């Protein structure tokens, strides 16, 4: 791998990290200018070629991953973390297929978002364009390297990736495949760069590089995101947390309620769309025992308010701390509320404005919940675990934004664009 050796020589044999980071930034800025003008076909070719390279370099990538796993074990990293870190042929194939899926998405650049003509004859268009250079700071899982790099590329951006130090070798090997894709399509390799060091000081440097980076995307735990929000000189697309609720209304279909609550909590407990708090309309209390039995059978710990415990004394007590906790575990807090109004008040007070669901056959209650719950995603009669760019039909996602300003909710290729105004006249001057 002559190229990778060169990469090591020119980008890691650097005495001064600040100089290295500035050079990476400069290369990214130049690459972004080229990427923003790249044809849809060239980007598709680069993604397909990258997928091919992931498969062709399979043994190299798995060997790199083995190095990461060895170091993780000797560093005392937990088995659960090591499982998240581990690649195998199946996971590698999923990474390659993910790149191909991104290739197949509609090109998000150049879409005419609006067009109108003014009385003076000026024709105005609002057209989607790339953001520029995206800095992505993430933790552990190596597949994020391919997803994030692929989405940035699809949307015509350059990416500077700062992966978790645990997945350093794996990410480096995957970026090698992405670079091969870019080269194969005649696009600049520097469109996707990995910060070539595990030195944590690189993160602080990235957060100050407003000259070179247009947007920062943190993807990881709360402490990473909060640090990025605090320190970044650039706008941030942040995913803070998913404290999601499912509310079972008095007019709920009991069978749907059982199926949805069980799925929303237990399908996967560690994802941001997992329900953390179950709200039950006092009128739906008769359905509660069956719902709790399902959850118990699935080994879910139950913590409820006094009314819940009056119905089922085996439920542990819950307090304010539970209403504000994203467990990401097989634990559910439960509160009895007074109808849809009580549910909305609880969600807006304690939730994280991520994803919340109502189960009801009452159209009015559903409409009120949709309107008044102040969250990025609000569902009726469906599991909160659908909070996912893939499930929304966006292809891969780089995360789910819990911010208010756009992009809000799942962030896919389309959400990694901005827009500009094109105005065509024939000599107009302003009176």
Half-sphere exposure of residue 167: CA atoms within 13 angstroms, side-chain side: 27
Measured in whole angstroms, the distance separating CA 254 from the mean position of its chain's CA atoms is: 32
202-231 binders of its own copies (CB under 8 A)? 214-215, 229-230
Of 33, 40, 94, 330, the residue at the interface with its own copies (CB under 8 A) is 33
Transcribe 277-298 into DSSP letters. Answer: EEEEEGGGGGGHHHHHHHHHHT
Q: Is 2 in the site for its own copies (CB under 8 A)?
A: no
Nearest distance from residue 183's CB to its own copies, in Å?
23
Stretch that binds its own copies, among 164-172, 199-207, 239-247, 416-424 (CB under 8 A): 416-424
Of 30, 36, 67, 197, the residue at the interface with its own copies (CB under 8 A) is 36
By the 8 A CB rule, do 356 and 373 touch?
Answer: yes
Q: Is 381 in the site for its own copies (CB under 8 A)?
A: yes
Q: Is 131 in the site for its own copies (CB under 8 A)?
A: yes
Q: Is 374 in the site for its own copies (CB under 8 A)?
A: yes
Strand order in the sheet with 133-138: 192-194, 158-162, 133-138, 215-219
Q: Is 341 in the site for its own copies (CB under 8 A)?
A: no
Q: Is 409 in the site for its own copies (CB under 8 A)?
A: yes
Stretch that binds its own copies, among 7-15, 39-47, 316-324, 403-411 (CB under 8 A): 403-411
Nearest distance from residue 374's CB to its own copies, in Å?
7
Q: Own/partner pairs for 364-372, CB < 8 Å, 24+ apart?
A: 365/249, 365/251, 365/339, 365/340, 368/340, 368/341, 368/344, 369/247, 369/340, 369/343, 369/344, 372/344, 372/348
Of 13, 78, 299, 404, the residue at the interface with its own copies (CB under 8 A) is 404
Tell me whether residue 406 is exposed, middle or buried, using C-beta atoms within 10 angstroms of its C-beta: 0 to 12, 13 to 18, 19 or more: exposed
Q: Is 284 in the site for its own copies (CB under 8 A)?
A: no
37-96 binders of its own copies (CB under 8 A)? 37
Nearest distance from residue 55's CB to its own copies, in Å?
26
Q: Is 135 in the site for its own copies (CB under 8 A)?
A: no
By the 8 A CB rule, do 243 and 277 touch?
Answer: yes
Nearest distance from residue 415's CB to its own copies, in Å?
10
How far apart (Å, rounded) are the C-alpha atoms in residues 42 and 182? Answer: 9
Of 30, 67, 197, 418, the residue at the interface with its own copies (CB under 8 A) is 418
Q: Is 8 in the site for its own copies (CB under 8 A)?
A: no
Which is nearer to its own copies, 225 or 385 (by Cβ)?
A: 385
Q: Is 428 in the site for its own copies (CB under 8 A)?
A: yes
Q: Is 383 in the site for its own copies (CB under 8 A)?
A: yes
Tokens of 271: 């994802």
Tokens of 385: 């675990």
Residue 410's SS3 state is strand
232-251 binders of its own copies (CB under 8 A)? 233, 235-237
Of 15, 76, 313, 393, the residue at the interface with its own copies (CB under 8 A) is 393
- Backbone torsion region of residue 45, taken as left when φ is above 0, otherwise alpha when ψ lies between -120 and 50, otherwise beta: alpha
Q: Name the residue with tokens 């962030």.
A: 411
Q: Name the residue with tokens 């509660």.
A: 288
363 CB neighbour count, 10 Å cutoff? 10
Binding site for its own copies (CB under 8 A): 33, 36-37, 116, 118, 122, 124, 129, 131-132, 214-215, 229-230, 233, 235-237, 253, 255-256, 259-260, 262-264, 267, 348, 366, 370-372, 374-383, 385-386, 391-393, 403-406, 408-409, 418-430
């Amino acid at each position: 791998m002559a190229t990778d050796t060169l990469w090591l020589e020119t980008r890691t044999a650097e005495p001064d990290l600040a100089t290295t980071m500035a050079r990476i930034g400069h290369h990214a800025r130049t690459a972004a200018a080229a990427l923003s003008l790249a044809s849809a076909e060239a980007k598709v070719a680069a993604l397909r070629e990258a997928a091919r390279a992931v498969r062709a370099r399979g043994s190299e990538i798995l060997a790199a991953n083995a190095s990461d796993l060895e170091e993780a074990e000797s560093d005392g990293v937990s088995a659960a973390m090591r499982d998240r870190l581990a690649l195998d042929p199946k996971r590698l194939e999923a990474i390659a297929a993910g790149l191909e899926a991104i290739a197949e998405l509609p090109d998000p650049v150049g879409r005419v978002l609006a067009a109108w003509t003014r009385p003076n004859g000026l024709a105005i268009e609002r057209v989607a364009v790339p953001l520029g250079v995206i800095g992505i700071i993430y933790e552990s899982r190596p597949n994020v390297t391919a997803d994030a790099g692929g989405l940035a590329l699809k949307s015509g951006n350059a990416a500077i990736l700062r992966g978790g130090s645990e997945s350093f070798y794996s990410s480096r090997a995957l970026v090698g495949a992405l670079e091969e894709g870019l080269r194969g399509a005649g696009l600049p390799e520097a469109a996707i760069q990995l910060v070539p060091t595990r030195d944590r000081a690189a993160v602080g440097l990235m957060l100050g590089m407003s000259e070179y980076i247009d947007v920062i995307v943190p993807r990881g735990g709360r402490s990473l995101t909060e640090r990025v929000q605090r320190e970044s000189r650039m706008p941030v697309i942040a995913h803070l947390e998913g404290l999601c609720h499912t509310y079972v209304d008095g007019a709920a279909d009991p069978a749907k309620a059982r199926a949805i609550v069980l799925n929303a909590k237990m399908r996967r407990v560690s994802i941001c769309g997992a329900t953390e708090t179950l709200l039950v309309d006092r009128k739906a209390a008769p359905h509660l025992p069956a719902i709790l039995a399902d959850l118990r059978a699935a080994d879910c710990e139950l913590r409820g308010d006094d009314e819940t415990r009056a119905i089922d004394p085996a439920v542990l007590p819950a307090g304010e701390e539970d209403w504000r906790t994203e467990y990401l575990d097989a634990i559910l807090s439960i509160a009895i509320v007074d109808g849809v109004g009580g549910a909305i008040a609880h969600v807006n007070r304690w939730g994280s404005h991520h994803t919340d669901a109502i189960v009801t056959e009452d159209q009015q209650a559903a409409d009120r919940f949709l309107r008044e719950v102040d969250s990025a995603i609000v569902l009726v009669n469906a599991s909160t675990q659908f909070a996912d760019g893939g499930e929304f039909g966006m292809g891969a996602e780089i995360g789910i934004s819990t911010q208010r300003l756009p992009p809000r909710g799942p962030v896919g290729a389309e959400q990694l664009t901005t827009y500009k105004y094109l105005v065509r006249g024939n000599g107009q001057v302003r009176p």
